[in-house]
Structure 1
Amino acid sequence: MFARLPLTALRTFESAARLASFKGAAEELCVTPTAVSHQIRALEELLGVSLFERLGRRVSLSADGERLQRSLHGAFLEISRSLESFQPVGRDDSLSLTTTPAFAALWLIPRLGRFYRTHPQIRVRIETSNGLADLQRDASIDLAIRCGFEEFPQLLRFPLMSEHFCAYGTPQLLASLPEAGVELINVAWTTPQVGELPSWEDWNAAIGEDWVAQAARRDYPDEHYALQAAISGQGLVLASSVLASDSVATGLLQPYRSDVTLPGPQYRAVCVPGRERQPAVQAFLRWIEKEAAAD
């Protein structure tokens, strides 16, 4: 049944597609770039389609190439997991995830101890970046936790929690409001977004207080820094209810005009189809969905 499957060519294609590079695939597979090119060409001739668009020294997947890459990644992942099941029992399980620095520091890390207490055998490796990781190309990442308006049609999506934006400040600062001398802490968003995130202009339009338009503003490059600035009493911050939740729970921050909130996007966990069946990923998804529901 499988005697005619071009396994070498398919493995070569998967590597080149994931790395977006024939040279990178050659290094990963310990062959020459010419050998990679020959395998890809043979596979294209067999299938009767072009799998890559050649752009000088660079390559990118064609529409047919993207379709093949999606199915191959899941198939090779299943084979890899099957082989791992024969390894000696008792080794630590692990998973790797990527998320934003702010979500990791302000929400995930403070709660992760509860996961380790119930799953001491699982190791979680966290990578942080404000850029979006391409899970279909980077096989080293099992799971991504993101907040945004993207649909991620090629990935499995697990809704976690929706956020809203509110103005927060220290109890001491709020006791003195409103007054013109209060500064507004602003986040210079660097996280890629498809939709628009709330701004101080949106909040001012909703609240209708003249002093807001006249207040000085201070920009920070990340929500983590902006919230820390607010905690130190530097001013009001327009922040995510999810990221501010622990600071509010401990009394470090309080919402100003809690009746005025602006809708934000949803936090979701996403993964390549097939990864959700990995035991460590299954356990983590069950745990984080329970934590999100509790919030």
Structure 2
Amino acid sequence: MFSSLPLTALRTFESAARLSSFKAAAEELAVTPTAVSHQIRGLESWLGVPLFQRLPRRVRLTDCGQRLFGSLHGALLDVTQTLDQLRPQRSSGNLTLSTTPAFAALWLIPRLGRFYAEHPEINVRLDTSNTLIDLHQDASVDCVIRYGMGDYPNLHSQCLLDERFGVYGAPALVANLGDNLPTLITVRWRNALLYELGWKAWCQAAGEDHLLEIAPQREYDEEHYALQAAIAGQGLVLASSILVSESLASGLLAPYRSEVSVAGAGYSTLCVPGRERHPPVKAFFDWLSREVS
């Protein structure tokens, strides 16, 4: 049934497609770039369709190549995971998770001890970055927790948390604000306009449309810096109900105009289809589901 499959060429193709480079695939497979090129050309000849566009410094998948990669990567991942489960002496469970610095610092890490208490055999490595990772290209990352309203048709997705935005400040500052004009703490997001629109929406809902125009402002690069500034009493911060939850529970922050909030986006946990069955990933996904329920 499978005797005619060019397995070496398919393995070479998967590596080159994932890394977008014949040279990088050669290094991963411990062969020469010429050998990689020869295997790819042989596979293209066998199929009768081009799989890559050859560009000056890299390669890019054609539509046919993308279709083959989507099927092949998941199949090889399933085989790899099954082999790992069958080994008598399996390597210790490792999980590499990518998420934003703010979500890691303000929501995940304070709770991660509970995951380790349930699964001391699994080591979680956090890759914190605001840069989007292509999970189909970077096999070193098991899963991501991503913020946004987008749809992810090519990934296994688990809805994690929906949020709302409110305004918060140090309890003493909120209690004594009265008619004084507050300092507004803002965040210079990668898309700063989204945060500005959030403030505008909150001010409109609160009937304080003039606030953004007349109030002094302090700006920070990251949400967790902005929350620390608010905790220190420097002003009021517009913050996600998710990311502010630990500070509220510990009494470090208090809501200002608690009856006013505006809709935000949400956080989703994503992985390449099939990877959700890998034991460390499944354990982490199951724990997240319980943690947010």
Q: TM-score range by the shorter chain?
A: over 0.9
* Separation in structure 2 between the aligned mates of residue 23 and residue 179 of structure 1, nearest angstrom: 65
Deviation at 1:190, TM superposition (A): 2.0
Deviation at 1:196, TM superposition (A): 4.4
Q: Percent identity?
A: 57
Deviation at 1:91, TM superposition (A): 4.7
Instruction: Kindly provide the amino acid, as one letter, of the partner of residue 160 in structure 2.
Output: L
Partner residue in 2 for 1:103: 103
Deviations 1:203-252 (A, max 9, x none): 22221223443111111111111111111111111111000000011111
Partner residue in 2 for 1:199: 198
Structure 2: unaligned runs, 5 residues or longer: none
**Alignment check: 8 A CA contact 1:204 1:213 kept:** no
Instruction: Kindly provide the amino acid, as one letter, of the partner of residue 35 in structure 2.
Output: A
Partner residue in 1 for 2:229: 229
**Alignment check: 8 A CA contact 1:158 1:270 kept:** yes
**Alignment check: 8 A CA contact 2:171 2:253 kept:** yes
Structure 1 residue 280 corresponds to structure 2 residue 268: no
Deviations 1:37-78 (A, max 9, x none): 121111112222221122222211112111111111111111
Deviations 1:178-200 (A, max 9, x none): 54542111111127x9x945432
Partner residue in 1 for 2:84: 84
Aligned pairs for 1:164-203 within 5 A: 164-179=164-179, 181-190=181-190, 196=194, 198-203=197-202
* Separation in structure 1 between the aligned mates of residue 246 and residue 65 of structure 2, nearest angstrom: 45
**Alignment check: 8 A CA contact 2:84 2:90 kept:** no
* Separation in structure 2 between the aligned mates of residue 70 and residue 10 of structure 1, nearest angstrom: 12
Aligned pairs for 1:1-295 within 5 A: 1-89=1-89, 91-179=91-179, 181-190=181-190, 196=194, 198-209=197-208, 210-293=210-293
Judging changes above 3 Å, is the alpha-carbon distance between structure 1 residues 45 and 178 closer, same or farther for their aligned structure 2 residues? farther
Judging changes above 3 Å, is the alpha-carbon distance between structure 1 residues 229 and 223 closer, same or farther for their aligned structure 2 residues? same
Deviation at 1:3, TM superposition (A): 1.3
Does the residue aligned with 1:35 lie in a helix, a strand or coil?
Answer: helix
* Separation in structure 2 between the aligned mates of residue 211 and residue 75 of structure 1, nearest angstrom: 55
* Separation in structure 2 between the aligned mates of residue 278 and residue 238 of structure 1, nearest angstrom: 38
Deviation at 1:89, TM superposition (A): 4.0
Judging changes above 3 Å, is the alpha-carbon distance between structure 1 residues 59 and 178 closer, same or farther for their aligned structure 2 residues? farther
* Separation in structure 2 between the aligned mates of residue 128 and residue 159 of structure 1, nearest angstrom: 20
Deviation at 1:253, TM superposition (A): 0.6
* Separation in structure 2 between the aligned mates of residue 94 and residue 57 of structure 1, nearest angstrom: 33
**Alignment check: 8 A CA contact 1:188 1:222 kept:** yes
Deviations 1:123-175 (A, max 9, x none): 11111111111111111111111111121110010011100111110111112
Structure 1: unaligned runs, 5 residues or longer: none
Q: TM-score, normalised by structure 1?
A: 0.93
Deviation at 1:90, TM superposition (A): 6.5
Does the residue aligned with 2:4 lie in a helix, a strand or coil?
Answer: coil
Q: TM-score, normalised by structure 2?
A: 0.94
Does the residue aligned with 1:56 lie in a helix, a strand or coil?
Answer: coil
**Alignment check: 8 A CA contact 1:143 1:269 kept:** yes
* Separation in structure 2 between the aligned mates of residue 20 and residue 122 of structure 1, nearest angstrom: 31
**Alignment check: 8 A CA contact 1:170 1:233 kept:** yes
Range with greater deviation from structure 2 (83-92 or 262-271)? 83-92
* Separation in structure 1 between the aligned mates of residue 28 and residue 91 of structure 2, nearest angstrom: 26
Runs of 4+ with >6 A deviation:
none
* Separation in structure 2 between the aligned mates of residue 76 and residue 90 of structure 1, nearest angstrom: 18
Instruction: Kindly provide the amino acid, as one letter, of the partner of residue 138 in structure 1.
Output: D
Give the aligned CA root-mean-square deviation in angstroms.
1.8
* Separation in structure 2 between the aligned mates of residue 30 and residue 204 of structure 1, nearest angstrom: 59
